[in-house]
Structure formats: C-alpha cells, structure tokens
Amino acid sequence: MITNLFDIEEIKANYKFKGEYYDFKTLNQGHINNTYLLLFDYDGTEKCYILQQINTAVFKDPDVLMKNYVDVTEFVRNKVIQAGGNPKRESIKVYKTVDGKPYYLDKNGRYWRVINYIINTVSYDFPDNPDICRRTGKTFGNFQKLLADYPAETLAETIPNFHNTVSRYADFEAAVKADKVGRAASVQKEIEFVINRKKDCSVLLDLMEKGELPVRVTHNDTKLNNVLFDKKTGEGICVVDLDTVMPGLSLYDFGDSLRFAGNTADEDEKDLSKVKFNMDFYRAYTEGYLSAAGDSLNETEVYYLPFSCKLMTLECGIRFLTDYLNGDVYFRISRPEHNLDRCRTQLKLVEEIENLYLEMLAATQSIYTNLK
Ligand code: GN1
Ligand code: MG
C-alpha cells in the first residue's frame, strides 16, 4: 500500500519487522516530526513499531542527529539495565535498517527512523491534577540525574543555540525588521511586550558565563507529552523525544516543562482569560523534581527555578511570534493564525508568572529546605 505519507513496501523492504503489516495510525502530537504507529500481526498478536519522519528543515544534519540519538538512547538503556529496570519499557531502541543504518533515506529524499512502541503507557496533553505534575517533575528530575555522567563533549548540538535566549531574541529582532510577510504592523502589541523584556534574555547566559550555572546534558524539550506513564502504576517510566538532548542548563528543562504543565489552558487557546499559571501544579512539579534531582543542583540553580519558568515561556512566545513574522516556516500549524495564538498564550502566561513571582520564590525555597 502506498499512502501519500510513506511507502510501506519500501519501508518494509528496509527493516526486519516481525509479523505481517496490516495498518498504521498517525500519532502527531508534536509540532516538528511526523510520527506513525505501524501495526503488524505477529502470529495472532499485535506488534507495533513507531515510524518517524525526521524533519530535516529543523534537524539539518540527520547523520549527526541520529548519532546523538543512538548514543543517548543506548546510554539510557544501559543505565536502566544497571539499575535493574526493564529496558524494553524504560528506554527507546532504534531499529537498524537491513544495511545496519540508524535511519532510512527513501527514494524521495525523506529520512525515516523506526523505534520501539512501549505498550500499556499513557501520555498527557494536559495535567488533570497536581499528582501528574509531581510525577512529571520526578521523571524529568531523574532523567537529569541519569545523564549527569554522560560525556557531554561527545554530544553534538543538533540545533545550535536552541535555548540561547539572546540569539532567539536576535532572530526575533531580525524577523521584525525583515517583516517578510507584512505581519509586523498587526502584532505591535506582542512585539512591544517582547522588547520590554529584552533584559531577561541574558540573565541565565550571564550566570553561565560566570560559572555560576553549570552546563549539563539536558533534554531541552520537556513537554508533558514527552513522558510516558505506566498505565498500571501511573509512574513516569520513559522520557521520549530525545532529538534535542544536548549540553544545556538544568533550568531550561525545568522552566520549559512548567511553561507547558503549569498553563491552565492549551498552548493554542484563543480565549486568553483561560490562561493562568497554576501554583498547585508548580508546587507539585517542584516537589517531584527536587526530590529526584535536588541534591545534584547548586543553590543558584534552585534560586532561579521560578525565573526559568518565566524565561522559557517568554522564549517560546518569542519563537512562535518569530515564526508568525517569518510566514510560519518552522512549527507545524493547522490554522492560519495558529502561531500567533500560541504566541499570545505564552506572553499571557509570562505576565501571570510575573505576578506570582514572589509566591513562586517562597514556595521553591520552602520545598527545597524541607527536602534537605
Ligand atoms: C516543539 O516537537 P514538539 O512539539 O515536542 C519544539 C519545542 C517547543 C514546542 C512548543 C525541536 O516541540 O522546542 O517548545 O514545539 N521542538 C523543536 O510546543 O523545536
Ligand atoms: Mg514531542
């Protein structure tokens, strides 16, 4: 069967799948890669694989990307084995092609990878209760710890300057100036909002330069739906979407995660009155995160946890606005003003975080002190 999405015969000929292929489902949760679930009948039982098309407009060097991806997933797998866990459920495995490659380049020049599908798990697009946040914080805290002794120098930057907020700001300024698709005049309010917060963009990088914030190996895309929870136990068992694992700051992961999990509304909600920052979710996430990673963080990292929520939300708002100004060339959109709607929720959330800032600082310090 040839769908316009992929040619299953070509994919099948290049991988050693178990069983007879019978169908696929589209699993497009993210804004970047295209993801499908391939279904096979293996002697009467269903066997599933994940097929992903790598977005080469975003990840420009698939060889570098897949080297990182394989190295990181194997590192995680070995750690899981060492800790007596179940690598099939707690780590990602990259299936090699018949010629032993970690990806398949199809006849149309598209890059594909096949990874394991972890059954009996659930992921969330919205945290229904603080406990989900606590478990997410714990899972990302553990992930941070697990990568603590990863040899960072062997890791390439799959997207250079990914969370470099100074360079994100410069890209935004350039997009405003170029005004490629003539949208700048209609988003003056959003542009002003960002310009007024230019100073925030250099705070963490300055601390990094001074050696007060250590460079670590981080995930860099810690959205709630990048954690798989065990259906039975409810525990976070596997962190997915590892394309952006690179050297970074722990605060990038913490802030980015709460940008998403702390928002009471969807990332693309049009009704901004629904967009609030949920302090109960913040407290629960922070408890989970610090219980897992707290003893490996320094005091500056802990002090800047609330600020990182503001900064990473601002960064994401800047990225959506920049993409809107550039004519929607980066994030997948499903309606004309999608990136603008996303940008607006993020900027509203920045304001909410600013208003709660002192409360967040106090909560963080008290959680940290209680854990010590
Ligand atoms: C993208 O692919 P996805 O949806 O997990 C983006 C993140 C953004 C996020 C915003 C490689 O993540 O950086 O925070 O959208 N990933 C990349 O929802 O740019
Ligand atoms: Mg994702």
DSSP labels, 255-276? HHHHHHHTBSS-TT-S-GGG--
Whether residue 189 sits in one domain with residue 62 = no
Residue 1 pLDDT > 60: no
Q: pLDDT tens digit string along 297-318?
A: 999 999 999 999 999 999 999 9
Does residue 125 sit within a domain?
no
Structurally, the chain folds into a number of domains equal to 2
Whether residue 151 sits in one domain with residue 109 = no
Whether residue 107 sits in one domain with residue 151 = no
Residue 82 pLDDT > 50: yes
Whether residue 177 sits in one domain with residue 249 = yes
> Which residue from 229, 30, 273, 239 is spatially nearest to 128, judged by alpha carbons?
229
Of 66, 96, 118, the last residue of a domain is 118
Computed on alpha carbons and rounded to an integer, the radius of gyration of the chain in Å comes to 21
Whether residue 330 sits in one domain with residue 228 = yes
What phi-psi label fits residue 84: left (phi over 0), alpha (psi between -120 and 50 degrees) or beta? left
Q: At 105, which helix (H) or strand (E)?
A: strand 104-105
Residue 2 pLDDT > 50: no
- Helix 250-261 to helix 279-293 angle (10° resolution) is 150
Whether residue 102 sits in one domain with residue 149 = no
pLDDT band at 77 (very low <50, low <70, confident <90, very high): very high
Atom of ligand 1 nearest to the CA of 267: 18
Of 53, 88, 118, the last residue of a domain is 118
Burial 286-308 (b: 16+ CB within 10 A, else e): bbbbbbbbbeebeeebbbbbbbb
Cα 342 to averaged position of ligand 1 atoms, centre (Å): 12
Confidence (pTM):
0.95
Tell me the CA end-to-end span of the chain in Å, nearest whole number.
59
> Which residue from 242, 324, 256, 248 is spatially nearest to 54, judged by alpha carbons?
242
Average pLDDT over residues 90-110: 96
Atom of ligand 1 nearest to the CA of 220: 13
For residue 322, give the ligand nearest its CA.
Answer: 1
104 forms beta bridges with: 112
Cα 122 to averaged position of ligand 2 atoms, centre (Å): 14
Q: What is the pLDDT of residue 3?
A: 57
Average pLDDT over residues 118-140: 96
Cα 30 to averaged position of ligand 1 atoms, centre (Å): 7
Does residue 124 sit within a domain?
no
Of 98, 118, 138, the last residue of a domain is 118
Whether residue 155 sits in one domain with residue 92 = no
- Which residues fall within 8 angstroms of residue 114, CB to CB, at 6 or more apart? 11, 15, 38, 49, 50, 51, 52, 94, 95, 104
Residues with CB under 6 A from ligand 1: 30-32, 58, 221, 223, 241, 244, 267, 316
Whether residue 191 sits in one domain with residue 47 = no
Whether residue 161 sits in one domain with residue 305 = yes
Residue numbers of the domain that contains 31: 8-118
Does residue 2 sit within a domain?
no
Atom of ligand 1 nearest to the CA of 58: 11
Cα 314 to averaged position of ligand 1 atoms, centre (Å): 14
Whether residue 108 sits in one domain with residue 135 = no
Q: CB-based burial of residue 129 (10 Å sphere; 0-12 exposed, 13-18 middle, 19+ buried)?
A: exposed
Does residue 38 sit within a domain?
yes
Q: Given the structure tokens 């954690």, which residue do they identify?
A: 227
Cα 226 to averaged position of ligand 2 atoms, centre (Å): 5
